[in-house]
């Protein structure tokens, strides 16, 4: 995904595209389960010790949750006229707009804000989504844009959790051609 990320960010900078992102709330509980799955009754419920719950929908933490959510989103996005990349399934496009999917986050990019807003409106109609506005963070990378200059910074939380000592590093200027 690293190459795709660089290509997408390079296109946004080079073409001076608008980039917006959204968060799907409770994305992984929408999926349908294709096989029978059972779980123990949560401890806060007093029941007989042998009881289990049969799951009708996916839950966070299930291996099947992301796949099931991905299937639901893929069916919807193809109905809107988008095609999914054969090389990277995170990338969807039509002739006017690129949508990049990362877990439950969706990033739309184009040079026309009204097209982005139209797609976002359709997504909000179908799914409970929060509009996070212009793209400021992408896969633990903070993005700072000013006119045609774009700076990328490692997210502070990422630095702390990864244990990176970045204070002594020399910043490098990247020229997008």
Query: At 145, phi and psi to the nearest 5?
Result: -115, 135
For residue 131, the cross-strand partners are: 22
Q: Is 91 helix (H, G, I), strand (E, B) or coil?
A: strand
Q: What digits encode the pLDDT tens for the residues 69-96?
A: 888 888 888 898 998 888 777 778 887 7
What's the number of CA atoms in the CB half-sphere (13 Å) around residue 101? 24
CA distance 95 to 78: 13
Q: What digits encode the pLDDT tens for the residues 27-84?
A: 888 788 888 888 888 777 776 677 888 888 888 888 888 888 888 888 888 898 998 8
Query: Does 72 reside within a domain?
Result: yes
Count the Cβ atoms, other than its own, within 10 Å of residue 53: 13
CA distance 79 to 74: 9
pTM of the model: 0.68
For residues 49 and 91, membership in a common domain is answered with: yes
For residues 122 and 165, membership in a common domain is answered with: no
| Percent of the chain predicted with pLDDT > 90 | 1
pLDDT of residue 133 exceeding 70, the answer is: yes
For residues 81 and 144, membership in a common domain is answered with: no
Query: Does 128 reside within a domain?
Result: yes
Domain boundary among 120, 135, 150: 135
For residues 166 and 125, membership in a common domain is answered with: no
| More confident: 51 or 147 | 51
What is residue 9's predicted lDDT score, i.e. its pLDDT? 72
Range of the domain at 117: 9-135
**Residues 176, 14: contact at Cβ < 8 Å?**
yes
Nearest to 55 by CA among 63, 152, 169, 148: 63
Query: Does 99 reside within a domain?
Result: yes
pLDDT of residue 103 exceeding 70, the answer is: no
For residues 20 and 37, membership in a common domain is answered with: yes
For residues 79 and 102, membership in a common domain is answered with: yes
For residues 45 and 92, membership in a common domain is answered with: yes
Query: Does 26 reside within a domain?
Result: yes
Query: Does 96 reside within a domain?
Result: yes
Count of structural domains within the chain: 2
């Amino acid at each position: 995904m690293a190459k795709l990320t660089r290509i997408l960010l390079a296109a946004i900078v080079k073409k001076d595209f608008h980039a917006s992102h959204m968060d799907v709330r409770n994305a992984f509980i929408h999926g349908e389960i294709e096989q029978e799955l059972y779980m123990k009754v949560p401890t806060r419920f007093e029941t007989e010790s042998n009881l289990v719950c049969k799951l009708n929908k996916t839950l966070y933490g299930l291996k099947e949750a992301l796949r099931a959510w991905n299937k639901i989103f893929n069916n919807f996005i193809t109905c809107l006229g988008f095609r999914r990349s054969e090389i990277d399934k995170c990338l969807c496009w039509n002739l006017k707009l690129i949508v990049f999917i990362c877990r439950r986050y969706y990033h739309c990019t184009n040079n026309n804000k009204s097209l982005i807003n139209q797609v976002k409106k359709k997504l909000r109609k179908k799914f409970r989504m929060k509009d996070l506005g212009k793209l400021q963070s992408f896969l633990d990378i903070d993005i700072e844009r000013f006119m045609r200059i774009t700076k990328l910074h490692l997210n502070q939380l990422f630095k702390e959790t990864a244990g990176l000592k970045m204070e002594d590093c020399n910043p490098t200027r990247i020229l997008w051609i």
